[in-house]
Copies of this chain bind each other. A is one copy, B any other.
Amino acid sequence: MIEGGVTAPLGFKANGAACGIKRSKKRDLSLIVSERRCDAAGVFTTNKVQAPCVIINKERLKDQKAQAIIANSGNANCMTGKSGFKNSELMARTAARSLKIKADDVLTASTGVIGKPLPIKKIMAALPALVKGLSRKGHEPAAHGILTTDRVIKETAAEFHVAGKKVRIGAMAKGAGMIHPQMELPPLKHATMLCFITTDAVIASTALRDALKQAVDKTFNLMTIDGDMSTNDMALILASGLAQNKRIVEKTKEFRAFCGVLEALCLALAKEMVKDAEGATKFVEILVRRAETREDARRVARTVAGSNLVKCALFGSDPNWGRIAAAVGYAPARVDPWKLHLYLGKELVLRNGGRVKKKAVILNRIFAHKNIKITVDLGLGRYGATAYTCDLSTNYVRINSAYRT
């Protein structure tokens, strides 16, 4: 692990600024730029209502190239009609002009309130200074510029070796509410949570896409804060190729190493998002074991992680595991209650559908912790998955009942 976030890899600069979208006067505009055109890939929300930035980025990534990411917070620019598309295009074109690169190589991202016109003039006015201030130290203001209800910035970076050459991956992310992403690679022919990843690795574009998809499936796509899938979720990766390593291609040791580091970084950011979730007081891992299929394991993990009643019990430190069993039962997966085992922490509380008597004081102590592991052993097969979630608190409700006001 190294310092430097998205600017740790060679060739990247970044910056963040307050352009006036947020009434709080906090930073709300971020720019990440590579000194050369990058191989690029992205995964995007599967919500059928998609913001212009999502739709336009998918189009722009068909050539698997990009050089910059311009992102704003405080406004999702979604459900804003045709002018929403125009504004998203304008945001990219203005950034491209300031950067002296092609507009087609600029990706955009927006996060915030849905259904309000994007104050594009504020963004355009701020862009020249934002570009002027680009630097390798700019990863931190950039990480600030994409936050909404997040309390802390989320960034990370790592360095590893590919056939003797040093390679770096850096990343930043945001997301504290409307978090239940299911992101997919768009076909090439054709939260909000945001995650921007940079690397200086030399890597084949198919390998880059595959690595991103695998990492996202095991991390962001298994976290849930409130069950609400955003219209704007995206994870983007840009590869500058400046590390001069032996080109990474699929099904090699080097590819597996790249995937391993990328997944570790995404997992670290996913965990940070869940820890910083709106109103959250607990960080919870739902481990599912012995499911009949991989998909079943994922579904059970996500269903339990998404249960309001389980999350209220976690908030109240009440080890009411019956709610976990009920949620397992309504997951869209094969479940046999007579083979079901449940563990709170390491304590077995349900064995083959029958309760295992445990002292209340022991279970209460487990649920009083800030970090809680719940294991669901389905007893049916050999597949597993882990979902990441938090509790549902009175503060979550307070934050979200007055988000706009």
Contact = CB atoms under 8 A, between A and B. Distances in A.
B228 A397 contact: no
Main secondary structure of the interface of A (DSSP, over half): loop
B178 A79 contact: no
Contacts of A231: 325-326, 329
The bracket for how many chain A residues form the interface is 35 or more
Given A226-B309, A402-B316, A48 B394 contact: no
Interface in A65-101: 76, 78-83
B48 A353 contact: no
Interface string A108-127: 00000111110000000000
A326 B49 contact: yes
Contacts of A208: none
A47 B322 contact: no
Contacts of A294: none
Contacts of A353: 49, 79, 81
Contact of A403 (B317, B318, B350): B318
B394 A315 contact: no
B308 A227 contact: yes
A329 B403 contact: no
Given A320-B113, A401-B316, A309 B177 contact: yes
Interface string A340-382: 1000000001101111000000000000000000000000000
Nearest to A83: B354
Nearest to A308: B226
Closest 4 pairs between A and B when the two form their complex, measured CB to CB: A114-B322, A316-B401, A81-B354, A49-B329
Given A226-B309, A394-B398, 4 more contacts: A83-B354, A115-B325, A228-B309, A312-B403
